[in-house]
Amino acid sequence: MTDLTSLSALELVALLDTKQVSAREALDAHLERVAERNGEINAVVTLDAERARTEAAAIDDARSAGESLGPLAGLPITLKDSLMTQGMRTTSGAPELSDFVPEADAAPTRRLRDAGAVIFGKTNLPIYAGDVQSFNEVFGCTNNPWDVSRSPGGSSGGSSAALAARFTSLEVGSDIAGSIRNPAAMAGVVGHKPSYGIVSAKGQIPGPPGTLTQADLAVVGPMARTVADCSFALDLLAGADDWHDEAWSLSLPPTRSRNVSELRVAVWADDPYCPGDPQITSAIHGIADQLEAAGARVDRDARPSGFDFAKADRTFQMLLAGALSGGNSLVALEEMAERLKVGEDIDGGLGIAGATQRHREWLTNNERRLQMRARWREFFQDWDVVLAPVSPTVAVPHDHSFPETKRRIDVAGAQREYWDQTKWMGLFGLVYLPVTCVPIALHSNGLPIGMQVVGPFLGDRTALAVGSIIEEMAGGTRTPPGW
């Protein structure tokens, strides 16, 4: 019999729907896989096998009785530990939440549960989803199945590692500065960062449990081993939130084209502001060459009019810091502001200076963002997608030193700032664009290389459709050696 853990989510759903496999069999296969291999990478940090088996049995009984079931009925999945899951420990990697068991689901959790998914575990992340590695004091460090000495990325690193290791076929990550895209690329799987606002993130931690605000820049989106799975999951996750669902509905535009010969593809493979590993640049150009050979119109110099990467990055850092500033007390923010005023160099996390900006400064940065959004909207009148790096490097070695600002990464032999890993992702997250991240090649060191396929705002279906074309050209998601 086929190894059920090797199947995509849609393949497994098809077997469940036709009763070739029971929900209990599918669940047991994944639980056995976790039991056998999770110790090597520490991706799954909480299990609720008893409840999952009860739910799977109920689905099997309902299916046998001919009852109408949801589109994911019986599919066993894990979820990132920042998404509240009713009755299952949800910590966001924070010691103060190490025993927190929510009484309600986060909005994405509820949508998947309503679709029939059987949630059997939670996956690791950095504390409060605040790093591009995945480790915390509660559960320790998650390793990359491709090389256990390296990180699977973050903050959805447990999600990406679990997918690569075949512990689950579907996951949900969150992304404010690349936390879906970075781990997808680092572990060689697929992730989709939706257009801002089309998937409710209500019930994600941070903020604290019970927070109703959806933070600026922050999105929740699907991760899987195939673009088709991500596309299917997005249809289930997207929609009006519970503030608006009585009056609003969401109907995303169809993909602009599924015919390669009709595609208009801009390529932004490298930039002096954030130069990347030449092998990553070469891999992106290689995909562009294949698209061009198949008839697509390809331009390697097309950019939005007057657009400046450095200015976009500065604006992103300020808005990101504003979005994250709620994690600091008013006293701490006032102390930071005073120390910065006298020119003191403050060691700390990403965007610490921007955390102290006044609201009028935020409004100025938001206007800059809106001007950039207008330029991108004009740009996408002529182009369907942009191909770009996820990060200047492949998966980085573990480095848990503090402060993060003192960490360094190696990019083709050059020492670079740690947070350079977020620059290419911030470029598109700043302006709310949808991005499908797909694996496209292997580096000479054997690690996967991922690429961003960026679509116009609300053009999620176009980004996914082109991602699917590229997935086929590149050979799809590979299984790490030994897994």
| CB neighbour class for 154 (10 Å; exposed up to 12, middle 13-18, buried from 19) | buried
> Per the residue annotation, which of 155, 156, 160, 169 is the catalytic one?
155
Domain ranges for the chain: 4-237, 260-474
Q: Percentage of the chain surpassing pLDDT 70? A: 95
pLDDT band at 418 (very low <50, low <70, confident <90, very high): very high
Range 399-403 average pLDDT: 93
Which of the pair, 402 or 63, is modelled with greater confidence? 63
pLDDT confidence of residue 403: 84
Return the residue matching tokens 């020119």.
343
Q: Percentage of the chain surpassing pLDDT 90? A: 90
In angstroms, the CA 378 to CA 145 distance is 41
Range 360-372 average pLDDT: 97
Which of the pair, 242 or 92, is modelled with greater confidence? 92
**Lowest pLDDT segment from 172-181, 205-214, 298-307:** 205-214
Strand partners, 408: 417
pLDDT band at 356 (very low <50, low <70, confident <90, very high): confident
Q: What are the φ/ψ torsions at residue 205 (nearest 5 degrees)? A: -115, 120
pLDDT confidence of residue 357: 84
Q: Is the peptide bond before 403 cis (omega within 30 degrees of 0)?
A: yes
Look up residue 408 and give its two tokens: 């360094």
State the average pLDDT for the chain.
95
Q: What radius of gyration, in Å, describes the C-alpha atoms of the chain? A: 21
Return the residue matching tokens 């025993």.
99
Q: With 80 as the cut, is the pLDDT of residue 219 above it?
A: yes
pLDDT confidence of residue 358: 86
pLDDT band at 404 (very low <50, low <70, confident <90, very high): confident
Q: Is the peptide bond before 206 cis (omega within 30 degrees of 0)?
A: yes
Convert the pLDDT of each residue in 86-102 to its tens digit: 999 999 999 999 999 99
Q: With 80 as the cut, is the pLDDT of residue 240 above it?
A: yes
Convert the pLDDT of each residue in 122-135 to its tens digit: 999 999 999 999 99
pTM: 0.96
Amino acid making up residue 246:
E
pLDDT confidence of residue 325: 80
Q: With 80 as the cut, is the pLDDT of residue 339 above it?
A: no
In what order do the strands lie in the sheet containing 385-389? Answer: 170-175, 219-224, 190-193, 435-442, 448-454, 385-389, 264-267, 297-299
> Per the residue annotation, which of 22, 159, 179, 195 is the catalytic one?
179
Range 148-155 average pLDDT: 98
Per-residue b/e over 382-418, b at no fewer than 16 CB within 10 Å?
Answer: ebbbbbbbbbbbbbbebeeeeebeebebebeeeebeb
Residues in the chain: 483
Q: With 70 as the cut, is the pLDDT of residue 12 above it?
A: yes
pLDDT confidence of residue 373: 98
pLDDT band at 335 (very low <50, low <70, confident <90, very high): confident
In angstroms, the CA 274 to CA 409 distance is 13
User: Fold for domain 4-237?
Assistant: Amidase signature (AS) enzymes (3.90.1300)
Q: With 60 as the cut, is the pLDDT of residue 350 above it?
A: no
Q: Which residues lie below 8 Å from residue 55, measured CB to CB, with a gap of 6+?
A: 23, 118
Convert the pLDDT of each residue in 261-316 to its tens digit: 999 999 999 999 999 999 999 999 999 999 999 999 999 999 999 999 999 999 99
Q: Is residue 155 annotated as part of the catalytic site, yes or no?
A: yes
Candidates 3.90.1300.10, 1.20.1740.10, 3.40.50.2000, 3.40.50.150; CATH matching 260-474: 3.90.1300.10
For the chain, the three-class secondary structure string (H helix, E strand, C coil) is CCCHHHCCHHHHHHHHHCCCCCHHHHHHHHHHHHHHHHHHHCCEEEECHHHHHHHHHHHHHHHHCCCCCCCCCCCEEEEECCECECCECCCCCCHHHCCCCCCCCCHHHHHHHHCCCEEEEEECCCHHHCCCCCEECCCEECCECCECCECCCCCCHHHHHHHHCCCCCEEEEEECCCCCHHHHHHHCCEEEECCCCCCCCCCECCCCCCCCCCCCCCEEEEEECCHHHHHHHHHHHCCCCCCCCCCCCCCCCCCCCCCHHHCEEEECCCCCCCCCCHHHHHHHHHHHHHHHHCCCEEECCCCCCCCCHHHHHHHHHHHHHHHHHHHCCHHHHHHHHHHHHCCCCCCCCCCCCHHHCCHHHHHHHHHHHHHHHHHHHHHCCCCCEEEEECCCCCCCECCCCCCHHHCEEEECCEEEEHHHHHHHHHHHHCCCCCEEEEEEEECCCCCEEEEEEECCCCCHHHHHHHHHHHHHHHCCCCCCCCC
Angle at 412 between CA 407 and CA 418, to 5 degrees: 20
Q: With 80 as the cut, is the pLDDT of residue 48 above it?
A: yes
Q: With 80 as the cut, is the pLDDT of residue 333 above it?
A: no
Cβ-based neighbour number of residue 229 at 10 Å: 24
pLDDT confidence of residue 275: 98
Look up residue 106 and give its two tokens: 């986060």
> Per the residue annotation, which of 22, 80, 134, 159 is the catalytic one?
80
Q: What are the φ/ψ torsions at residue 90 (nearest 5 degrees)? A: -140, 115
**Lowest pLDDT segment from 202-211, 230-239, 259-268, 328-337:** 328-337
pLDDT confidence of residue 347: 57
Convert the pLDDT of each residue in 424-445 to its tens digit: 999 999 999 999 999 999 999 9
Range 192-205 average pLDDT: 97
Whether the domain at 4-237 and the domain at 260-474 fall into the same CATH topology = yes
| Contact indicator for 252, 463 with CB cutoff of 8 Å | no
pLDDT confidence of residue 1: 53
pLDDT confidence of residue 342: 66
pLDDT band at 345 (very low <50, low <70, confident <90, very high): low
Q: Which long-range contacts (CB under 8 A, 24 or more apart) does 326-329 make?
A: 326/206, 326/207, 326/213, 326/215, 327/128, 327/130, 327/206, 328/355
| CB neighbour class for 17 (10 Å; exposed up to 12, middle 13-18, buried from 19) | middle
Range 365-392 average pLDDT: 98
Q: Is the peptide bond before 155 cis (omega within 30 degrees of 0)?
A: yes
Q: Is residue 179 annotated as part of the catalytic site, yes or no?
A: yes
Q: With 90 as the cut, is the pLDDT of residue 409 above it?
A: yes
pLDDT confidence of residue 344: 63
pLDDT confidence of residue 334: 72
Range 5-9 average pLDDT: 98
